Amino acid sequence: MRSARHEDIPDSIDWSVFKSLVPFLVEYRGRVLLALSCLILAKVAMVGLPFVLKHIVDGLDNEKAQMLAAPIMLVVAYGVLRLMSVIFAELRDTLFGRVTERAMRRVGLKVFNHIHRLDLNFHLNRQTGGVSRDMERGVQGISFVMRFMIFNIVPTLIELCFVIGILLVNYGLNFAVIIAGAVISYVAFSVKATKWRTKYIREANRADSRSNTRAIDSLINYETVKYFGNEAYEAKQYDQQLATWEQAKRKNRLSLFTLNGGQALIIACAMTLMMGFAASEVAAGTMTLGDFVLINAFTMQIFMPLNFLGFVYREIRGSLANIEQMFALLAREPEIVDAPDAVSLQLSCGEVNFNNVHFHYNAKRKILKGISFSIKPRQKVAVVGASGSGKSTLVKLLYRFYDVADGSIKVDGQDISQVTQQSLREAIGIVPQDTVLFNDTLRENIRYGRVGATEEEVNRAIELAHLRDFIDSLPDGYQTTVGERGLKLSGGEKQRVAIARTILKNPAVLVFDEATSSLDSYSERQINQAITEVTKDNTSLVIAHRLSTIVDADIILVMKQGEIIEQGNHQSLLEQAGEYASLWNMQHKNQQENV
């Protein structure tokens, strides 16, 4: 059974994430300052509204003023202020939208590039659905945090201080104390309750990632599901993950009810007290009806954003919980990195040397034990041996997906650990055993070898890979879509696409990692013909399972349990009557029996 991800989010929120957002604000500081100006103007208009409303009510309470219709101008002013507060708020959001969208784009690209830089071990162990979900939620969280932290939390707190000051100066200590006490109680309760319920957000996120991972994993491997008739099993497993998600969301919803209920209680108590004091002052004649309306308006105006502040704080906590996993990806350092003084590989003839190479994935189990051999320019060297002998590990080390434990690998006399990975991999082309194609057209999959190639160069690669007849037989030619992972093509067709792609890359060193091991005899002959034509002018390393495909190799290395036990050309190895001769006779006998 495939295991789900068990990474947990730390209990503490890393607020240092805001530091990473500063460059995006600095880049668009003009827009940010203009948006802040609109914010200030909108707040000024909002604070002015209760005062205008007070004068309107006091004017209407005066019979003479009613007859002269004096409050008309105040009513117009009230409408203008209300309109301006909305317009400035919309301008603020429009101006700042570019900043948040660019931040989302930059952060998303940064994470995408970083994941591609991570080592092979990470990609062998990752689960695509969960990683994809973490990226998606994290990027969206960045947008929410930037927008609401800058334009809601900070401005709301400033407005609260401003209104408390107005009430204290104009209406005495009682009103200011009630507002201040309510704000402190509200914020304290919100912080404590939100911290309590964050664990439920995390549980829901983990359940969401696991269910998404399960779904994508099943869909990617749908052929295997069909082969074994396990649709019902997959549906059951997916439903189990969804049931866990449903339960986590229920806990999340109930905790949200508790939080909202507590906040509503604090607001209701504060507003009741404010209105009670104001009503008693009006009854005693120390306040006008307009003052009562003003205090009521300020109270509502304060608690509406305060209530929203609680929502924003909850969402920011949730968003930070969402982006923690994404930033954990960014914090993960690749195991294979360029040396501080790494330079680009300087190619001359494409000679490859393995010098006393030792390697292990686990210190208790050695994979390679002192491997030494050379591939001269334009020479074809083949490596054969039983499964687990270390053949494919040679390819991973040459590509520097792993570093050697001891010894060195050199290309044209340069230690590959001292050159940049980019320049090293540009110099090597590979036709793997299992060719995986992008869900795009044949043409674009071939062009992937060198995306800037001309149409003429693409056509030449198609000819050399013996793909022309196949492409011409398709209704849409090389505009045919190959399907996810190339599932619409046969094994031989995919291998020829891989060869064409590698030809187009035009590397100095060619690697064939058991490129024909899973093909039928007809496809194998075609692929071998293409390989022979491609390798005649290149340095090439061939990892072979079928010995018939490498009889023309200049040197054949026979590996067993991480060591080279024989080497020579095909004829000399047969004459030695050793391991190679034994493998050859076994395969030859099997071929005769299958005829």
Give the total residue count for the chain: 595
Most confident by average pLDDT, 106-115, 424-433, 481-490, 515-524: 424-433
Give me the residue label for tokens 């570019």.
98
CA–CA dist 87, 78 (Å, integer): 14
Whether 558 shows a pLDDT value over 90: the answer reads yes
**What is residue 406's predicted lDDT score, i.e. its pLDDT?**
92
**What is residue 14's predicted lDDT score, i.e. its pLDDT?**
57
Are 171 and 291 a contacting pair, CB within 8 Å? yes
Give rounded-to-5 percent helix, strand, coil for the chain.
65, 10, 20
DSSP 168-229: HHHH-HHHHHHHHHHHHHHHHHHHHHHHHHHHHHHHHHHHHHHHHHHHHHHHHTHHHHHHHT
Whether 556 shows a pLDDT value over 70: the answer reads yes
Mean pLDDT of 422-435: 86
DSSP 63-74: HHHHHHTTHHHH
Lowest mean pLDDT among 172-176, 284-288, 529-533: 529-533
> Strand pairing partners for 297?
none
**What is residue 376's predicted lDDT score, i.e. its pLDDT?**
92
CA–CA dist 295, 175 (Å, integer): 9
**What is residue 301's predicted lDDT score, i.e. its pLDDT?**
74
Domain boundaries, the chain: 17-331, 339-427+548-595
**What is residue 105's predicted lDDT score, i.e. its pLDDT?**
81
CA–CA dist 150, 131 (Å, integer): 28
CA–CA dist 517, 387 (Å, integer): 12
Phi and psi, residue 141, nearest 5°: -65, -35
Locate 101 and state its tokens.
Answer: 């969208």
Question: What pLDDT digit, counting tens, does each position of 112-155 carry?
Answer: 888 878 777 776 666 666 677 677 777 777 777 777 766 667 67
Average of per-residue pLDDT values in the chain? 80
Locate 568 and state its tokens.
Answer: 């020579």
Phi and psi, residue 343, nearest 5°: -120, 165
**Residue among 209, 198, 88, 97 at smallest CA distance from 144:** 97
Whether 439 shows a pLDDT value over 60: the answer reads yes
Task: Give the class (CATH, top level) of 339-427+548-595.
Answer: alpha beta
Whether 261 shows a pLDDT value over 90: the answer reads no
SS (H, E, C) 497-522: HHHHHHHHHCCCEEEEECCCCCCCHH
**Residue among 410, 388, 433 at smallest CA distance from 559:** 388
Locate 226 and state its tokens.
Answer: 């069909």
What CATH code is assigned to 17-331? 1.20.1560.10
User: Which residues have C-beta within 8 Å of that of residue 206, sequence separation ≥ 6?
Assistant: 5, 8, 9, 248
Of all residues in the chain, what percent carry a pLDDT higher than 70?
A: 84
Of all residues in the chain, what percent carry a pLDDT higher than 90?
A: 12
Residue 368, by phi and psi: left (phi above 0), alpha (psi -120 to 50) or beta?
beta
Q: In the sheet where 539-543 sits, what is the strand order?
A: 428-431, 509-513, 539-543, 380-385, 555-560, 563-568
Whether 260 shows a pLDDT value over 90: the answer reads no
Q: How many CB atoms lie within 10 A of CB 247?
A: 13
Are 338 and 425 a contacting pair, CB within 8 Å? no
Whether 555 shows a pLDDT value over 50: the answer reads yes
Phi and psi, residue 345, nearest 5°: -65, 130
Question: What pLDDT digit, counting tens, does each position of 57-91 carry?
Answer: 766 666 554 444 556 666 677 777 778 778 877 78
Are 207 and 241 a contacting pair, CB within 8 Å? yes
**Residue among 352, 434, 338 at smallest CA distance from 392:** 434
Question: What pLDDT digit, counting tens, does each position of 488-523 carry?
Answer: 887 778 888 888 888 888 888 988 887 665 556 666
Whether 207 shows a pLDDT value over 80: the answer reads yes
Q: Is the pTM of this model over 0.75?
A: no
**Residue among 362, 357, 346, 448 at smallest CA distance from 400:** 357
Lowest mean pLDDT among 122-136, 269-283, 325-339, 475-489: 122-136
Lowest mean pLDDT among 69-78, 275-284, 440-449, 458-467: 69-78
**What is residue 516's predicted lDDT score, i.e. its pLDDT?**
63
Whether 4 shows a pLDDT value over 50: the answer reads no
**What is residue 329's predicted lDDT score, i.e. its pLDDT?**
76
**What is residue 10's predicted lDDT score, i.e. its pLDDT?**
41
Whether 534 shows a pLDDT value over 90: the answer reads no
